[in-house]
């Protein structure tokens, strides 16, 4: 099935979890991966893989498949990601259990978290659980990057998410707006 159509169908079934009407563009994916240089001992954890819009660019930038772990909660998306990226480890699971999932894979230390999760629309308690997992990786030294849409930037959950991150990890590094994305978005980075 056409990627955009599948994405939109899953959005209609679960708008808060999917959080977007369309997959990220190659321009946003490139921005999400700027300065990310993984190796087998310092891997990338992607949470909220979706249809693999970021994964597609990411796989061209890693030296081998052991540099990557993906977690995606939606079974239909995982099925499609397994078909397109058979060499990559993409687990159907909850980012709220990321540490346990990562430990089970025996892959290297997580040095980069690339998050497609829609913190502006996820229920607050789910976001908190996921961010507690993020904290575990950040405490060992890690870069966390996500994106937020320009139109939702000042919605209370989006602001609350940034405040929570800023309290823990300092001032956000925000990119210029990526206009070649529907809708336009910023990337947000924190590093420990
Ligand atoms: C805005 S989409 C981003 C998809 C893709 N990364 C992209 O940029 O096109 C958010 C994704 O996060 C997934 N997701 C939501 N909650 C999740 C959770 N608790 N654990 C893992 N994935 C989750 C959704 O199913 C969806 O695929």
The per-residue pLDDT for range 73-123, each reduced to its tens digit, is: 999 999 999 999 999 999 999 999 999 999 999 999 999 999 999 999 999
For residue 40, name the pLDDT band (cuts at 50, 70, 90): very high
Q: CA–CA separation, 52 vs 145, rounded Å?
A: 16
Q: CA–CA separation, 8 vs 47, rounded Å?
A: 19
- Does the beta carbon of 72 sit less than 6 angstroms from any atom of ligand 1? yes
Pocket test for ligand 1, best of 73, 102, 124, 183 (most atoms within 8 A of CB): 73
Q: Report the nearest atom of ligand 1 relative to the CA of 53.
A: 9
Per the structure block, which two tokens stand in for 142? 């890690």
Pocket test for ligand 1, best of 8, 48, 132 (most atoms within 8 A of CB): 48
Residues 6+ apart with CB under 8 A from 83: none
- Does the beta carbon of 133 sit less than 6 angstroms from any atom of ligand 1? no
> pLDDT exceeding 70 applies to what percent of the chain?
100
- Does the beta carbon of 142 sit less than 6 angstroms from any atom of ligand 1? no
The CA R_g of the chain, rounded to the nearest whole Å, is: 15
pLDDT (0 to 100) of residue 90: 98
- What are the Cα distances from residue 111, in Å, to 39, 105, 135, 143, 153? 9, 15, 12, 6, 26
- What are the Cα distances from residue 78, in Å, to 61, 83, 165? 21, 9, 28
Does residue 1 surpass a pLDDT of 80? Answer: no
The pTM assigned to this predicted structure is 0.98
pLDDT (0 to 100) of residue 184: 98
pLDDT (0 to 100) of residue 109: 98
The answer to whether residues 37 and 44 touch, using CB atoms and an 8 Å cutoff, is: no
Q: Report the nearest atom of ligand 1 relative to the CA of 95.
A: 20
The answer to whether residues 22 and 8 touch, using CB atoms and an 8 Å cutoff, is: yes
Per the structure block, which two tokens stand in for 127? 């976001």
Determine which residue's CA is closest to atom 24 belonging to ligand 1: 18
pLDDT (0 to 100) of residue 58: 98
pLDDT (0 to 100) of residue 3: 93
């Amino acid at each position: 099935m056409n990627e955009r159509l599948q994405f939109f169908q899953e959005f209609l079934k679960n708008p808060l979890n999917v959080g977007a009407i369309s997959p990220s563009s190659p321009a946003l994916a490139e921005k999400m991966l700027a300065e990310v240089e993984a190796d087998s001992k310092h891997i990338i954890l992607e949470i909220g893989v979706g249809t693999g819009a970021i994964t597609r660019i990411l796989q061209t930038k890693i030296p081998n498949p052991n540099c990557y772990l993906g977690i995606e909660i939606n079974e239909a998306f995982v099925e499609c990601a397994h078909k397109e990226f058979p060499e990559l480890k993409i687990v159907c699971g909850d980012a709220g259990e990321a540490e346990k999932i990562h430990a089970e894979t025996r892959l290297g230390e997580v040095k980069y978290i690339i998050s497609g999760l829609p913190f502006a629309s996820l229920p607050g308690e789910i976001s908190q659980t996921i961010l507690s997992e993020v904290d575990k990786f950040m405490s060992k030294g890690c870069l966390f990057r996500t994106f937020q849409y320009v139109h939702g930037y000042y919605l209370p959950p989006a602001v609350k998410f940034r405040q929570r991150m800023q309290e823990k990890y300092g001032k956000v590094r925000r990119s210029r707006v990526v206009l070649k994305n529907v809708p336009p978005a910023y990337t947000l980075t924190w590093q420990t």
